[in-house]
Amino acid sequence: MSTLSDLVYAQGRSSAADVEWLHRLAGDGQLLADLAFADIVIWVPTSDDSFIAVAHTRPGGAATLFYRDIVGDRVRPQWRTQVRDAFQTGGIVDSASPDWFEETPTRVRAVPIVRHGKGEGPRRIGVLTRHTNLGDARTPSRQQITFNDCADELFGMVASGEFPDLTAPTSPRRGAPRASDGLIRLDVDGMTTFASPNALSAFNRLGFDDELEGESLVEVVTRILPEKRQFDESLPVVLTGRAPWRSDIDARGVTVSLRTIPLRDHGTRIGAIVLCRDVTEIRHQEQELITKDATIREIHHRVKNNLQTVASLLRIQARRSHSDEAREALTQAMRRVAAIAVVHDTLSEGLAQNVDFDDVFDRVLKLVAEVAAGVNTRARTHTSGTFGTLPSEYATPLALALTELVTNAVEHGLAGKEGDVEIVAERSEEQLAVRVRDTGSGLPEGQVGRGLGTQIVRTLIQGELGGTIDWHTIMGSGTEVTIEIPLRYLERSPR
C-alpha cells in the first residue's frame, strides 16, 4: 500500500509543507474517529478534478463502515459533489439526507482541510470526511454527546486552519493518551465541565477522591502532588488548557500522562480537551529498560577495558621476548584482542546492540596499518562502499576476519616495499560482499589455507557468519580476497 506522502506527491498539487500538515492531521485521525464515533477519511484533489483517499482511521468505540481500507481509492460518486463543495467553498458540508453505503444508512460530513503557511494566507489542501454508521444508532449518553461536541469543535478548527497545531510536540511511541483512556473538558477558565469515567478513575488512583466536574484542574493537581516535589514547569500550562502540550503527573506511585488540546473558535480560545492515561506500568517498563541498557553499556565498557589491558600485557610481553617467532605470535594476538575491543567500545556508546561498522572498521584499519607495517614497508589503505549497521554478533567476527586479511596483505603481500591495500564493501538487501585487494607480490602457489590467520578467517566467515571466502591472484600482481556474507537473518532496518 502506498504511503500518504507517495499518494499526495503523485497528484502533483501539494508542497512539502502540505504533506507535513496532512501527516500531523492523520496522526490525530484516531482521536477524531474516537470522538466522532465514525470513520475518518482524508482526501486530496487530483489533476482530473477528483479526489483520492490518502488516510483512513476507524473508530475504536463504534462499528466501522469500511471493512476494507480505502486508502488509494478515488472518491465514490455519491460523495464527490459534497467533497468538491467543501473544498471549493471552504465550508463544512453535511449530507442532506442519510446516505446508503452497502445497505447501511450513514451520515457524511465533509470538512475542508485548511493550512496557514508562513507569509501566506489560508490554503485549502484537502478534505476530511466523517462517515457515521446510523445502523448502530442508539440513545446517546452524556459522554457520547460530549465527545461529539468536541469532535465538532475540532472539525471547525480543521476548517479554519487551527488544527493540527504544528507547535505541539509529536506523540510518544508508547503510552500516548487516547480519548477512550480518559477525557476531561475544560472551559476557558480551566474549570472542569466534564470528566469521563476513565479520567475520574485515573485521578482517583492519584489520590483525588471527589468529583472532578466543577473543579479547577490546577487546584485538583496541586492538592494531589506531594509537597516539596519538583514538577514539570509545563504542567500549569497543560492543566489550564492554554497550550497544546504534554506532561506527566506522579503521585502515590502512580503516573498519569496528560495531553492538552486547546479549543478555539476563529482564533479565540473557548476551552480545552485534556486526554489522560494511567501509564504507571509503561513508565516502570521504560525505567527497567533504561537500567538494563545502562548495565549492558557498562558491561561492554568493562569488557573493552579488560581487553585493552590484555592487549597491553601482550604488547609488553612481545617487547620483552627474545624470540622473533614468539614476538610475532604475541603481536598478532595483541592485534586480534584490540580489534575485538574496538567493537565493544562502540557498543558501550549506544543503547542498541547494533554498530555502525563503517566507523568500527575505520578504527580497526588504523590499528592494523600501524602495527602490521614493518621495516621498509609502507602501506596505503583505501576504503570504498559501505558496510552499514550490523548487530554485534556479526560485527565482532567480521572485524576479526578483516583484521587478519588486511594484516596478511600488509605483512606478506607488501613486505619490504610500498603499495596499496583497498577494501571495497558492497551491501544489498540479501548480502554483504567485501573485497580486500593489495598490490603486492601475489599468492605463492599452494600457500592458501596453511597459516593460522587464514584458518581463523575461514572459521569466522564460514563457521560463524555462514558466508563464503575466496583467495586468488590478480593478473599482473597482488592478491584479492572476496567475502560474501548472507544477511537474510537480519531484521530489515535503514542502513
pLDDT, tens digit, 9 for 90 and up, residues 308-362: 788 788 878 888 888 888 887 887 787 778 777 877 777 776 656 778 888 888 8
Give percent above pLDDT 90 in the chain.
40
pLDDT of amino acid 88: 95
Sign of the dihedral defined by the CA atoms of residues 361, 363, 366, 370, in that order = negative
Using the predicted structure, report yes or no on whether residue 494 has a pLDDT greater than 50: no
**DSSP character for 181?**
G
pLDDT of amino acid 304: 74
pLDDT of amino acid 362: 84
Q: How many CB atoms sit inside 10 A of residue 405's CB?
A: 26
Q: With cut-offs at 50, 70 and 90, classify the pLDDT of residue 171.
A: low
Using the predicted structure, report yes or no on whether residue 495 has a pLDDT greater than 50: no
pLDDT of amino acid 264: 94
pLDDT of amino acid 377: 66
C-alpha distance from residue 75 to each of 82, 100, 128, 295, 466 (Å): 10, 15, 12, 54, 51
Between CA 165 and CA 478 the distance in angstroms is 63
Q: With cut-offs at 50, 70 and 90, classify the pLDDT of residue 438.
A: confident
Asked if 26 and 128 count as a contact pair (C-beta separation under 8 A), the reply is no
Give the chain's length.
495
Q: How many CB atoms sit inside 10 A of residue 485's CB?
A: 21
Using the predicted structure, report yes or no on whether residue 173 has a pLDDT greater than 60: no
pLDDT tens digits, residue range 241-291? 998 998 888 888 899 999 999 999 988 999 999 999 999 888 888 777 777
Using the predicted structure, report yes or no on whether residue 420 has a pLDDT greater than 90: no
Using the predicted structure, report yes or no on whether residue 493 has a pLDDT greater than 50: no
H-helix or E-strand containing 377?
A: none
Between CA 429 and CA 271 the distance in angstroms is 51
> 17 or 352: which carries more pLDDT confidence?
17
pLDDT of amino acid 85: 96
Q: Pick from 196, 283, 193, 181: which is nearest to 241 by CA?
A: 193
Burial class (CB in 10 A: 0-12, 13-18, 19+), 108: buried
Grid cell for residue 148: 461529539
